[in-house]
Structure 1
Amino acid sequence: MSDADLITITLPDGSVRDVVTGTTPMQIAAAIGPGLAKAAIAARVDGELRDLDRPIEASAHLALVTARDEADALDLARHDFAHVLAEAVQSLFPGTQITFGPSTDDGFYYDFAPKDRPFTEEDLPAIEAEMRRIIAANKPLTREVWAREDLIARWREQGETFKAEWAAELPGDEDLTVYRSGNDWFDMCRGPHLPSTGKLDPQAFKLTRVSGAYWRGDQSKAMLSRIYGTGWLNKKQLDAHLTRLEEAAKRDHRKIGQEMDLFHLQSEAHGSVFWHPNGYMIWRQLEAYMRRQIDRGGYVEVKTPQIMDAKQWEASGHWGKYRENMFVVPDEIPNTEDEGAVISADADMMALKPMNCPAHVLIFRQGIKSYRDLPMRMAEMGCCHRNEPHGALHGIMRVRQFTQDDGHIFCREDQIVEEVRIFCELLDTVYRHLGFEHYAIKLALRPEKRFGTDEMWDKAEADLRNAVIATGRATADYGWEELPGEGAFYSPKLEFHLTDAIGRTWQCGTIQLDYVLPERLDASYVGEDGERHRPVMLHRAILGTFERFIGILIEHHAGRFPLWLAPVQAVVATIVSDADDYAADVVAKLAAAGLRVESDTRNEKINYKVREHSLAKVPALLVVGKREAEEGTVAIRRLGEQQQKVMSIDEAIAALVAEATPPDLM
């Protein structure tokens, strides 16, 4: 054997092995030891995740992946569960065509074109049983590279028109790979996969639901049946996930919103929220709190138009990148008196704003700005509209009309790091005041399609990175991570991901460092040298949108808001009608102290009233009867507690007022 036949494999501990070209990761694992060979499920070759039996053709760094590498192991398992699902469906329902089946954040799904009828949830138990049979068979999963025309011909021969269409459209220089499950089933896939179906735990998955989906997401194309599942490494993880789902269902903001009479949604205004008095009270308290925070933070608050000329959106770049998500007012409208004719409108082509940033640049451009005026921190509780697909709408979490706690900081380049640091401190304060102790910070880097030069992106990414380092938050404790390709088309950004009470994460806050928009919209300031300079524009939000953040708050607190946010802070309920006048006096005193209070003097039993106000998540129920009226006391029952505490009216008011004080005013 010549040296030319050998390649060098460097392992994570720095040790080196010389092996023959074409050696597989599994062979290297076996040479290290039988325990590792048994535990290995995949490999990373120069960082790329690969199958264990895929030959290594050149010297490389090799890391063997086991179940302890949970992120990789979960992704592999979920991908394999999707393939096993597809195989099971085609086994049970011959003639069904397969399309796509990716892994997701907590499981997998697969889209099918059934031969006879759409699938229903009644089909799921039989499919699960067939999946377990395939897993128990421990069928090897092997990779093959096919010639394009051969694979297209095979798909057509099998009646797989969707797969044939997709294979024909893949880039010409791309290898077409398939994975076989044993010898009797295969699917087109880039991989990688586990060595065999038997590496999956047959008790670690569950099929959850069935829905419709269009082929390639296009409403003009065929309707498919999508089967969703959740998949994990073992049954313990699955059980924990199902428990979280049950808890999430209890906390669903739509369910709690109805119980607390906060809001409703209806078809006459798809994607917009009808806020009821209770819900809007939460909004008002949150908005007042955020306004105090931005006032303290040195922001000037502005208000900008809802609708602007399309020329402005063309200049900003949004028209080309975002047009399909904008609501447009055309420059011609139907003439209702003469069907089919059109008349010109007074305005040019206009569009409802999907974001506030171009309008803020226009305000900045009014008058001459000096370097001494910077930083200029501009905020707006700005109402925006985005034409989200109907199927993407979700309660108040994803809507078409929304209000952002938006802000833009215009600053000099030498001020960037400090301004981002100040923003991070403000965001930290807000999140902790609102009951979120844990959040992760992620740096989203340049996307493939973007404005600006590489040099500009290098600097912008470095400035954001350095700002987080300056705050001491670029650490594992803050979940610090860099996300290649996930920045906006005009800037990199920091994302802030909240963790709620049941462990779910929500991306809310963001700050984006933008050199592009000031250039495109000709924003400038006069520098110390007397010359014109471009400001840097920092786009920032803490809540994201009021609608979505209130939805998150509802689910995080399960409707049991801290007293300062609760829409109704107290209810005074009578035991007997003889206490009605006393109850009115108590209500008047609580209201005079600034508390949001209601009375319940209905001719109902007190236990019924307690249950009803508990369902409505009222934090404090003040029960009064003859004795309380005679003694000038109230019996306070707190939400979720069985015991009540008797105290004087003044003591009760003092305790409630102290608790109802917003955290920034304590």
Structure 2
Amino acid sequence: MVNFKEDENLNTLNHSCAHLMAQAIKHLYPQAKFWVGPVVAEGFYYDVDLGDDVIRDEDIAAIEKEMKKIAKTGKKIIRKEISKEEALEMFKDDEYKIDLINNLEDGNITCYEQGDFTDLCRGPHVDNVKLCRNFKLIRHSGAYWKGDSNNKVLQRIYGVCFPTPEELEAHLQLLEEAKERDHRKIGKDMGLFMVDDLIGRGLPMFLPKGYVIWQELENYIKDKERKLGYLHVMTPCIGTVNLYKTSGHWDHYKENMFPAMDVDGESFVLRPMNCPHHMMIYANRMHSYKDLPIRIGEIAHDFRYESSGTLKGIERGRHFCQNDAHIFVTPEQIEDEFKRVVDLIFSTYKDFGITDYRCVLSLRDPADKVKYHDDDEMWNKAEDALRTVLNDLGIEYTEEIGEAAFYGPKLDVNVKPAVGNEYTLSTCQLDFCLPAKFNLTYIDKDGEKKTPVVLHRAILGSLDRFMAYILEETKGNLPTWLAPVQVRVMPVKTDNEELMEYAHEICSALEEKNVRVELDDRGEKLGYRMREGQIQKVPYLLVIGFNEKEDRTVSYRLHGEADTTVLGLDEFVEKIDSEIKNKVH
């Protein structure tokens, strides 16, 4: 999907269209006052104070109609320079513009005029309003002035604009596709998870069917890790502030953590990540070089303070579970262990059919002494080591400055989802910093104490985000092994004793193979039950009638298909058992 902010021409066009929308709003709501109207990745928006009026869905059409009317006039968009004093006089009755002007440096200020509407703006803009005619207002919401919850709530209206009607229509179709793929909608339709403000924003709860998927993902990755020598642990969800002061998170990550809690004279925090706990597990006893590598894994509950505007279902929450691990190695073992991690990432992607991704070497910004641990020698050593390993392994990658963890560089594997912008799913970070901070040691072959190197890695990332990704990639049509309900048995007549007896026999045969099966014995019409099974994305819908009972067969329909297939009961049980065990996707 296009990024409006990064495309220079679309950026200018959409910023101009934001002014067109503001002009239309001013015509319809003369009392309107405007804060800012920037271009963002998904288009443009404007924050508006309408006094006592509230924008509703039906009002959007009226705003669009007025925008089209203005666009037809073809009014020139004229750039003007005025002094700060002139600007203050021009907008003297608008507290929002006065606030903006007062925060600008002295000197000339630019504004743009189009007919009867003038607004403060740096620009640039297109030549005339007619060029903004291919637009669509997408949605509206509330937004705190300056993003501060102590301030007034303004009304934010989003839109998009394109040079041609064809480009606009293509984009709107993509947006519709995105709605259908939105894991929040899929999760609701399938009954997978829920959020409630009484529990807390960003704190999703997995319902029984959603937790089945979660457990399958957990079992899948832990089984792969065990075969590679990982030792799984369980550690607390909180730690002392001193733990995070030792690790450096308190200095470099505090703004992303929940506030400290004082208990019995000690300060505790909900943990944002697990590395300090795993460092302490390593430090619990002495180690020889013969013990290394040590691979400590955990499906760990973590908590991070995310601003409310960034929260998105289970993709981005304030509580999540990381598929985390820390590998303690000697310097000589870095390359082999890093290769093992990369192989595990790509093996996992193959299992899930993930092919659209790219590798990024995330480096620090040397000028940023606040975000990053201040040790140039350590950083140069770590970045050179990771770059060498990637080159030796022949992995194609790009380098991005300022994306490293505060303690070390990392390999990020960014996936490109079916809709939306790419994001990081898997990561492997090289760390010379934390082992030294925690005074971790091992005895080398010469009997001397040495400091190990640590690889921080997450394969699925967080189980929550990975689940969201898979739901959106598949539109909820999960492979049978991952589906919360794998088979639904639907007798044609639920009031017939013989049919119900055979339906129970089918369920028992499937349950003996640990197939997740449901018997739909409601008195609803078969068509209604079939449609509901389709909405809930059940892979196999079995219709059981008198012919099936007499022949000891099942008639099944695969999700998304119109054809019905008939198999003997034993043959069907073996078929689905094999499909699940082999994780066919």
Q: TM-score, normalised by structure 2?
A: 0.87
Work out which of the residue numbers 176, 199, 221 in structure 2 matches 1:269: 199
Within 5 Å, which residues of 2 pair with 1:343-358? 345-346=263-264, 348-358=266-276
CA distances 1:427-475 after superposition (whole Å, capped 9, x unpaired): 122123123221122333324332223343344344444444444442x
2:254 — aligned with what?
A: 323
2:552 — aligned with what?
A: 632
1:256 — aligned with what?
A: 186
Q: How has the CA–CA distance of structure 1 residues 294 and 200 changed in structure 2, closer, same or farther, with 3 Å as cutoff?
A: farther
1:456 — aligned with what?
A: 378
Within 5 Å, which residues of 2 pair with 1:182-201? 185-189=118-122, 193=124, 196-197=127-128, 200=131
2:526 — aligned with what?
A: 606
1:433 — aligned with what?
A: 351
- Taking the aligned partners of 2:541 and 2:250, their CA distance within structure 1 comes to 53
AA aligned opposite 1:207: L
Work out which of the residue numbers 481, 500, 506 in structure 2 matches 1:586: 506
- Taking the aligned partners of 2:266 and 2:572, their CA distance within structure 1 comes to 61
AA aligned opposite 1:287: E
- Taking the aligned partners of 1:72 and 1:389, their CA distance within structure 2 comes to 28
Percent identity (aligned): 37
RMSD: 3.2
SS in structure 1 opposite 2:382? helix
Work out which of the residue numbers 8, 14, 17 in structure 2 matches 1:81: 17
2:241–2:260 CA contact under 8 A, matched in 1: no
How many residue pairs end up in the alignment?
A: 571
Structure (1 or 2) with the larger CA radius of gyration: 1
Residue 649 of structure 1 and its aligned partner are, at CA, apart by 1.3
Residue 263 of structure 1 and its aligned partner are, at CA, apart by 2.4
AA aligned opposite 2:311: L
- Taking the aligned partners of 2:508 and 2:447, their CA distance within structure 1 comes to 63
Q: How has the CA–CA distance of structure 1 residues 347 and 90 changed in structure 2, closer, same or farther, with 3 Å as cutoff?
A: same
Residue 249 of structure 1 and its aligned partner are, at CA, apart by 2.0
Within 5 Å, which residues of 2 pair with 1:44-63? none
2:170 — aligned with what?
A: 240
1:301 — aligned with what?
A: 232
- Taking the aligned partners of 1:418 and 1:152, their CA distance within structure 2 comes to 66
Work out which of the residue numbers 489, 514, 519 in structure 2 matches 1:572: 489
Work out which of the residue numbers 497, 501, 509 in structure 1 matches 2:414: 497
- Taking the aligned partners of 1:454 and 1:315, their CA distance within structure 2 comes to 20
- Taking the aligned partners of 2:7 and 2:167, their CA distance within structure 1 comes to 13
- Taking the aligned partners of 1:572 and 1:121, their CA distance within structure 2 comes to 42
- Taking the aligned partners of 1:178 and 1:529, their CA distance within structure 2 comes to 71
1:161 aligns with 2:81: no
SS in structure 2 opposite 1:565? coil
- Taking the aligned partners of 1:182 and 1:360, their CA distance within structure 2 comes to 61
Q: How has the CA–CA distance of structure 1 residues 321 and 168 changed in structure 2, closer, same or farther, with 3 Å as cutoff?
A: farther
- Taking the aligned partners of 2:407 and 2:447, their CA distance within structure 1 comes to 28
AA aligned opposite 1:106: E
Q: How has the CA–CA distance of structure 1 residues 503 and 157 changed in structure 2, closer, same or farther, with 3 Å as cutoff?
A: closer
SS in structure 2 opposite 1:267? coil
SS in structure 2 opposite 1:629? helix
Residue 219 of structure 1 and its aligned partner are, at CA, apart by 1.3
1:83–1:187 CA contact under 8 A, matched in 2: no
- Taking the aligned partners of 1:648 and 1:568, their CA distance within structure 2 comes to 21
Residue 382 of structure 1 and its aligned partner are, at CA, apart by 0.3
SS in structure 2 opposite 1:388? coil
Within 5 Å, which residues of 2 pair with 1:541-556? 541-556=458-473
- Taking the aligned partners of 2:442 and 2:110, their CA distance within structure 1 comes to 58
1:109 aligns with 2:45: yes
- Taking the aligned partners of 1:561 and 1:376, their CA distance within structure 2 comes to 35
Q: Give the unaligned 5+ runs of structure 2.
A: none
Work out which of the residue numbers 284, 306, 316 in structure 2 matches 1:366: 284
2:488–2:518 CA contact under 8 A, matched in 1: yes
1:652 — aligned with what?
A: 572
AA aligned opposite 2:376: D
Work out which of the residue numbers 542, 549, 552 in structure 2 matches 1:622: 542
1:313 — aligned with what?
A: 244
CA distances 1:117-140 after superposition (whole Å, capped 9, x unpaired): 354444434444554535863635
AA aligned opposite 1:137: G
2:364–2:401 CA contact under 8 A, matched in 1: yes
- Taking the aligned partners of 2:172 and 2:310, their CA distance within structure 1 comes to 23
- Taking the aligned partners of 1:179 and 1:455, their CA distance within structure 2 comes to 49
